[in-house]
Amino acid sequence: MTARSVTLIGLGPMGLAMANAYLDNGYDLTVWNRTAGRADDLVARGARRADTVEDALKANDLVVMSLTDYDAFYAILEQAPEALAGRTVANLTSDTPDRAREATEWVAARGGVQLTAGVLVPPPGIGTPDAVSYYSGPKDALETHRETLEVLTQIDYLGDDPGLAALYYQIGIDMFWTGLVAYLHGQAIAKANGISAQQFLPHAVKTMDFRYFLEFYAPRLDAGNDEGDVDTLSMGAASLEHVIHTAKSSGVDVSLPSAVLDLFHRAIAAGHGRDSLTSLTKVLTR
């Protein structure tokens, strides 16, 4: 093993992008995947295919894992837990903060170190200059392997708590999927009315630029200031009613805006009708 060598476990779309980034940068790459054939093209490019999990772990000090969830993480590493001793596992697998903390303890009990990470770009973004991942866990382990990890993305280090990277990632994913589903709902209405997605694209980009509101709301959220001087929930509810009527008349499902309207109505019933959208946090927080 050398300073420019790494093991990668998991060859889904993200893992394949990571593997190719390492090969592009001249790394000595060892790979393992449950479906061994997914490594064929990588082997043709010079990667080494490990026959077993134990072989993959022992090949390098740094093991990068890109899996569906922590169930897959355990299913793989439990095949050779003793081989974790002395290894650093950069776990780029999505799961909850609690599971990230539990996995860190599990790896430590077997003599290894885990760094938790959350990748903020899709597979085509791996290795590009603007790509970023959240990392948390032992700072010394991160610094030891920083150069190798930064082949994939820049590093936004959040601290020692191994759950922080997973927490920040899940908060972002909450916003990501909700926002994209709202975009698709709007495009369903557009299509039903003869407007193509390409035609609406410049308007969609402008509409989904929330920067003004994010910067306006953030200090107010921290201060608990729900003053309805720019927007009110009653105003928002009336607007959503119009969206629902438009969707219905267009033959488009209304479950998404109806769910949001229900949330508005609950907040209004709790006395927040004249308050800002930020007051929804009072309803969202149990």
pLDDT confidence of residue 46: 97
Question: Do 137 and 211 share a structural domain?
Answer: no
Question: Do 180 and 138 share a structural domain?
Answer: no
Going from the C-alpha of 50 to that of each of 110, 139, 283, the distances in angstroms are: 21, 29, 51
Q: Domain containing 196 — which CATH number? A: 1.10.1040.10
Q: Domain containing 92 — which CATH number? A: 3.40.50.720
Q: Are 276 and 220 in contact (CB under 8 A)?
A: yes
The CA distance from 166 to 134, in Å, is 8
Question: Do 100 and 39 share a structural domain?
Answer: yes
Question: Do 108 and 59 share a structural domain?
Answer: yes
Question: Do 190 and 150 share a structural domain?
Answer: no
The model carries a pTM of 0.92
Question: Do 183 and 41 share a structural domain?
Answer: no
Question: Do 191 and 115 share a structural domain?
Answer: no
- Which of 137, 159, 181 is a domain's end point? 159
pLDDT confidence of residue 3: 67
Domain count, the chain: 2
Question: Do 109 and 138 share a structural domain?
Answer: yes
- Which of 159, 190, 212 is a domain's end point? 159
pLDDT confidence of residue 250: 98
Question: Do 185 and 75 share a structural domain?
Answer: no
DSSP state of 87: -
Q: Are 137 and 105 in contact (CB under 8 A)?
A: no
Q: Are 166 and 99 in contact (CB under 8 A)?
A: yes
Output the DSSP codes for 213-254.
HHHHHHHHHHHT----SS--HHHHHHHHHHHHHHHHHTT---
Give the 3-state secondary structure of residue 114: strand
Question: Do 104 and 189 share a structural domain?
Answer: no
State the angle between helix axes of 97-108 and 163-192 in degrees (0 to 180), rounded to the nearest 10: 140
The tens place of each residue's pLDDT in the chain, 286 residues long, gives 566 999 999 999 999 999 999 999 999 999 999 999 999 999 999 999 999 999 999 999 999 999 999 999 999 999 999 999 999 999 999 999 999 999 999 999 999 999 999 999 999 999 999 999 999 999 999 999 999 999 999 999 999 999 999 999 999 999 999 999 999 999 999 999 999 999 999 999 999 999 999 999 999 999 999 999 999 999 999 999 999 999 999 999 999 999 999 999 999 999 999 999 999 999 999 7
- Burial zone of 153 (CB within 10 Å; 0-12 exposed, 13-18 middle, 19+ buried): buried
Q: Which helix (H) or strand (E) holds 91?
A: strand 88-91
For residue 203, the Cα-to-chain-centroid distance in whole angstroms is 26
Give the 3-state secondary structure of residue 97: helix
For residue 42, the Cα-to-chain-centroid distance in whole angstroms is 25
Question: Do 174 and 145 share a structural domain?
Answer: no
Note down the domain range covering 217: 168-284
pLDDT confidence of residue 23: 98
Q: Quote the tokens at residue 89.
A: 């596992």
Question: Do 9 and 115 share a structural domain?
Answer: yes
- Which of 159, 178, 212 is a domain's end point? 159
